[in-house]
Chains A and B, each alone.
Chain A
């Protein structure tokens, strides 16, 4: 098993006819992901390298049995596209688009909640279950199948850690990029829950960064609900308050959201926190082999 995406994933990509959408959608297909359809309003009936294009996600669900939607449309059209996906009948929506206004996401978040649809992202690299399916922009070559589940706010940082795990001979059950925006569909806790229930996952690596209190909330949750070992990394110790560090959510406001506070909250609940990506991977490998 893996989480969120696997060999049962039937993917529909909103924005498949666009440059980025077709590049990554076809890359996901080449990896082995079942790419059922693409959606671009007004382009129904066309195809992208043999993948049928529909006018709506619902059509792709009805005609091709799509169960997972990936959103690759420009920021100002993305929230309505996610809303469409939520209402289309898919189980999972993975939103890659970066730069969506946060108050739009506030509305969309609750629509997904109400409909019982799992939303990952936005502004995330997607989800990879090595050897099974890749939905998003995670470069699969740095990850082998294995026992470590990864959940992360950051893309490249995850590739860095994943590559070090691979070099140490370890692999991953899944890698979930939850995104670095202030409002995201699935938080650490949602994904930790899935890893706890996944028999293939033996250890969890959690990659956080400054801003918000998702890491602190995760620390509480780990203490009470997670039996598997968790190793964490937090980025942004040198970030000054009030400055947004790239991600819309990566900002320290007042005294809250600092890397130090997150590290302390996690360590207080017995989670080991690495000083660098390299050390984090090393701790994870040791903990996995020692357990």
Chain B
């Protein structure tokens, strides 16, 4: 799960990384009241999970009360599109924080390097801009060092990294301390990514995290109660929220072909084959192993609640999952809910013959059986009609 800027900053603060003090607000009136308490000038920042907020007009400085009201009004409710066309993300809250007197802007991050199986610390003296562009144009300006997983990563261990990044001499101690604490935050909070851009040095020569980008490992949420609550409230897509409640692995996409498969790999492959057949998948839904009738009912409920869906494909390869159980689930689901759209079913693997027989006996209207993945994909695309 990804944290909003202010949520990340609250984590930083809990681990001793300096951040500007601020407040979160969901209405213009609350934002203005918060700005009054914080004092002027202050920054009013859109809280959405996407970069490029500044360019999109989602970050403004207010010199006084009138500007605070004007900016909060403009930012709350605006739609922000990411630099690569992501979104749009509707702004439902802003973060108001005290203005900082910036002397230098740096970059610092701690990320999980899957290939090397280590945390990787990265520091650059060229902060405040797109770090991928810095890395591409001037790779030497971005210093990368892996963190030894068998030793504590102290400020002393961090010091050579900030030194070789060429940060200002009088900021080195505090920057090393900040980097060590960011790594500590990652380890303590199960973060797989922590990025601070910019990490600033103020005119008083204090090192402060002016932004935050944090990704928490979903597998570890059971041991971080507060973060788990944030995760639950973060889902604003109705289908994704419903799927989460029912314990299904579901990702909403843009198309009109509803998809259910068992296993993450087979499900991704099914999306690909449907796309190859000219269709547009509406979702990813992994029914998992041992999919029982109840899970099928839940899955179909979630898929059909997406109004775009005009046909559904079931692609099952039974291993541990038994195709006769899946077939029973489909029959049961059809009795419980009105699908209203055609269903294409491909059952292969364990007990597929029994499964196919169960479906044939049930004589469900608008149910189409196919024997191959490709055949099933072509059929469902034909039935779904043009992309909705």
What A residues does B249 contact at CB under 8 A? 246
Cα separation A141 to B318 with both chains bound (whole Å): 11
Q: Contacting A110 at CB < 8 Å: which of B117, B268, B349?
A: B117
A275 within 8 A of B: yes
Partner of B219, one of A99, A141, A209: A99
Interface pair A235/B219, CB less than 8 Å apart: no
CB-based contact A247/B264 at 8 Å: yes
State A154–B217 Cα separation when bound (angstroms).
Answer: 20
Is A13 in the interface zone, CB < 8 Å from B?
no
Check A277 for interface membership: any CB of B closer than 8 A. Answer: yes
C-alpha gap A287/B229 in the complex (Å):
52
Q: What count of chain A residues pass the 8 Å CB interface test? A: 62
The reply to whether A209 and B319 form a contact with Cβ atoms under 8 Å apart is no
Which of B114, B149, B348 touches A213 (beta carbons < 8 Å)? Answer: B114
Chain A hits for B223, CB < 8 A: 76, 101
- Give the nearest-CB partner of B188 in chain A: A103
Contact B219 A276 (CB under 8 A): no
Give the secondary structure class of A's interface.
loop
- The tally of residues in B whose CB lies under 8 Å from a CB in A reads 53
> Does A261 reach chain B (CB closer than 8 Å)?
no
Answer yes or no: B167 CB below 8 A from chain A CBs: no
Q: Does A163 contact B (CB under 8 A)?
A: yes
Cβ contact within 8 Å between B268 and A235 = yes
The reply on B266 being an interface residue by CB < 8 A is: yes
Q: Which residues in B have their C-beta under 8 angstroms from that of A159? A: 317, 319, 349
- 26 A-B residue pairs with Cβ-Cβ distance under 8 Å, sorted by A, are A76-B222, A101-B220, A102-B219, A103-B217, A104-B220, A106-B118, A139-B318, A141-B350, A142-B349, A152-B265, A154-B268, A156-B317, A157-B263, A160-B373, A183-B117, A235-B265, A235-B266, A235-B269, A237-B275, A238-B272, A238-B274, A239-B268, A246-B265, A246-B267, A259-B272, A275-B276
Query: Interface 1/0s, chain A 100-130, versus B by CB < 8 A?
Result: 1111101101100000000000000100000
Give B249-283 as 1s and 0s: 1 = Cβ < 8 Å from A's Cβ atoms.
10101000000011111111101111110000100
Residue contact A246 to B276, C-beta cutoff 8 Å? no
Measured in the bound complex, the distance between the Cα atoms of B284 and A209 in whole Å is 14
Interface residue? B132 (CB, 8 A): yes
Q: Shortest CB–CB separation between residue B357 and chain A, in angstroms?
A: 19
Which one, B84, B272, B317, contacts A237 given CB within 8 A? Answer: B272
- In the bound complex, what is the Cα–Cα distance between A240 and B265 (angstroms)? 15
In angstroms, Cα B273 to Cα A237, docked, is 9
Cα–Cα, bound, A99→B247 (Å): 14
| Interface residues as binary, A61-87 with B (CB distance below 8 Å gives 1, 0 otherwise) | 000000000000001100000000000
Please determine whether A110 and B149 come into contact, CB atoms closer than 8 angstroms: yes
* B349/A102 in contact, CB under 8 A: no
Instruction: Check B132 against A254 for contact (C-beta < 8 Å).
Output: yes
Which of B220, B265, B348 interacts with A207 by CB under 8 Å? Answer: B265
Residue of A nearest to B85 (CB): A241
Given contacts A137-B320, A138-B319, contact A245 B284 (CB under 8 A): yes
Additional A-B contacts beyond A109-B117, A213-B115 (11; CB < 8 A): A139-B349, A154-B264, A156-B262, A156-B266, A157-B269, A158-B265, A182-B192, A183-B112, A209-B264, A235-B269, A278-B372
For B265, what are the chain A residues with a Cβ–Cβ distance below 8 Å?
152-158, 180, 207, 209, 235, 246-247
- State whether B220 touches A103 (Cβ < 8 A): yes
Within B293-323, the residues touching A (CB, 8 Å) are: 317-320
Nearest CB in chain B to that of A216: its residue: B115
**Interchain CB contact under 8 A, A277 and B269:** yes
The reply to whether B117 and A209 form a contact with Cβ atoms under 8 Å apart is: no
